[in-house]
């Protein structure tokens, strides 16, 4: 088989890249290891930056987002038993929209199927070769067990941290920057109305907590826990009790409880690979970088990558390699800004079990300054709503 771009992975990065290329008249084939329903239903991030919302609207995929998304013009920063609002729109003129990553994926899958674009699920044994040439080759086993060979002009590795794309790059080419944090998130999805109209980020002596939502009837909540924590030790009652304790403020606040639909523990890490390109293989999204979720940057960073990559690939196929050659450097400037912001939010809000009293006082000082200084709040808001795409 022959195509112009082989896209490995049908997450938001891979699907959005394929659709952007389609709109630019470039052929692409998307290969995904999971089945169609798993891809459409897997729950991930839920905060869309303003540039992400604008892009999806611009390319004709903003209908459901506009109808079902939950625009937020601010969020709450809680510490010292007090609520402090970060007024995103007042400070920046922009907002964020709560709209689940799985909903964006559904919109993209539907758009691919409506346009009859090649999207292959349940593929296995994917291997990449000839990446240094102008004709890379992707081999894989399709859903019926038949081995296929796909020749292309470029490969987009959008298959996440554990995918095959990054390991296909020879040893010694990539430089890895990584940091693991001494805490994890216990996340729950509950069928209950949100307890607050906006997100709540909480610093509490017992640990960080986050109140978020996925819809008017489904709430997403998180608790800081030890990375080695046993999920079985957390009954529903224990989870609700701990959330109520950490989210409490001096004044009226009642945490709405309901049936917990899903729960899991996610470790926290920062990860960046440089460069994000090797020959005709281009890495995007989680295949190239991971951010702790505190800053709500993961999915939005993947969107920013593929905006740059789509333009670079279109130019490359037209004979101009300049954007392809600068792809990694262009993306990494935004990646490192997002890494820093995510690190800042994470270290400001979480309780570090190894921190001494001096470090704890510095952390509290940063929280107080951020909540009381318009300049500090504006810097936080500007990064949170999303910097403009390059």
Catalytic residue list? 72, 201, 293, 297, 384
Query: What is the torsional sign of CA 230, 235, 240, 246?
Result: negative
Cα-Cα-Cα-Cα dihedral of 303, 349, 196, 295, to 10°?
0
C-alpha dist (Å) from residue 222 to 189, 205, 232, 241, 318: 9, 15, 16, 13, 47
- 20 sits in the region (left: phi over 0; alpha: psi -120 to 50; else beta) called alpha
Q: Which residue has the tokens 């609002």?
A: 85
- Structure tokens, 166: 């990054």
Closest by Cα among 191, 215, 192 to 64: 215
- What is the DSSP track for 123-191? -EEEEEE-TTSSS-EEEEE-TTS-EEEEE-SEEEE-S-TTSSTGGGSPTTS-EEEEEEEEEEEEEEEES
- Structure tokens, 53: 């919302």
Q: Which residue has the tokens 């994470």?
A: 346
DSSP label at residue 292? -
**Cis amide prior to 4 (ω within 30 degrees):** no
Chain centroid to Cα 238, Å, comes to 28
Closest by Cα among 7, 47, 53, 14 to 389: 53
CA–CA separation, 169 and 206 (whole Å): 43
How many other β-carbons are positioned within 10 Å of the β-carbon of residue 237?
A: 9
CA–CA separation, 8 and 217 (whole Å): 34
Q: What backbone phi and psi angles, to 5 degrees, belong to 216? A: -60, -15
DSSP label at residue 218? E
| Cβ neighbours of residue 270 closer than 8 Å, sequence gap 6 or more | 177, 178, 179, 181, 290, 291, 292, 339, 342, 343
- Structure tokens, 325: 């050659």
Q: How many residues does the chain have?
A: 390
């Amino acid at each position: 088989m022959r195509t112009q771009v082989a896209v490995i992975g049908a997450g938001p990065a891979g699907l959005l890249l394929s659709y952007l290329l389609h709109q630019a008249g470039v052929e692409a084939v998307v290969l995904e290891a999971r089945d169609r329903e798993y891809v459409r239903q897997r729950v991930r991030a839920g905060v869309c930056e303003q540039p992400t919302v604008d892009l999806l609207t611009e390319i004709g995929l903003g209908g459901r987002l506009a109808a079902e998304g939950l625009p937020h013009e601010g969020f709450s920063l809680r510490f010292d038993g007090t609520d402090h609002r970060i007024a995103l729109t007042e400070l920046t003129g922009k907002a964020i929209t709560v709209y689940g990553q799985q909903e964006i994926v559904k919109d993209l899958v539907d758009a691919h199927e409506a346009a009859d674009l090649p999207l292959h699920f349940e593929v296995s044994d994917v291997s990449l070769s000839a990446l240094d040439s102008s004709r890379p080759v992707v081999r894989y086993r399709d859903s019926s067990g038949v081995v296929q060979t796909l020749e292309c002009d470029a490969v987009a590795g959008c298959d996440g941290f554990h995918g095959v794309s990054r390991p296909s790059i020879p040893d010694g080419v990539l430089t890895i920057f990584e940091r693991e944090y001494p805490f994890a998130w216990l996340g729950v999805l509950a069928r209950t109305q949100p307890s607050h109209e906006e997100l709540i980020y909480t610093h509490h002596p017992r640990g960080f907590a986050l109140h978020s939502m996925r819809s008017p009837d489904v709430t997403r909540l998180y608790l800081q826990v030890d990375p080695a924590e046993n999920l079985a030790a957390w009954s529903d009652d224990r989870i609700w009790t701990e959330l109520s304790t950490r989210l409490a403020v001096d004044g009226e606040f009642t945490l709405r409880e309901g049936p917990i639909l899903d729960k899991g523990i996610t470790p926290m890490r920062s990860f960046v690979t440089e460069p994000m390109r090797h020959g005709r293989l281009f890495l995007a999204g989680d295949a190239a970088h991971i951010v702790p979720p505190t800053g709500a940057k993961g999915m939005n960073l993947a969107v920013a990558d593929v905006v740059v990559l789509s333009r670079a690939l279109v130019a490359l196929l037209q004979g101009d390699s300049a954007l392809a050659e600068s792809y990694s450097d262009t993306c990494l400037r935004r990646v490192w800004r997002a890494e820093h912001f995510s690190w800042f939010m994470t270290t400001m809000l979480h309780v570090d079990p190894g921190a001494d009293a001096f470090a704890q006082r510095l952390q509290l000082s940063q929280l107080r300054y951020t909540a009381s200084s318009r300049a500090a709040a504006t810097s936080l808001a500007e990064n949170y709503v999303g910097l403009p795409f390059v």
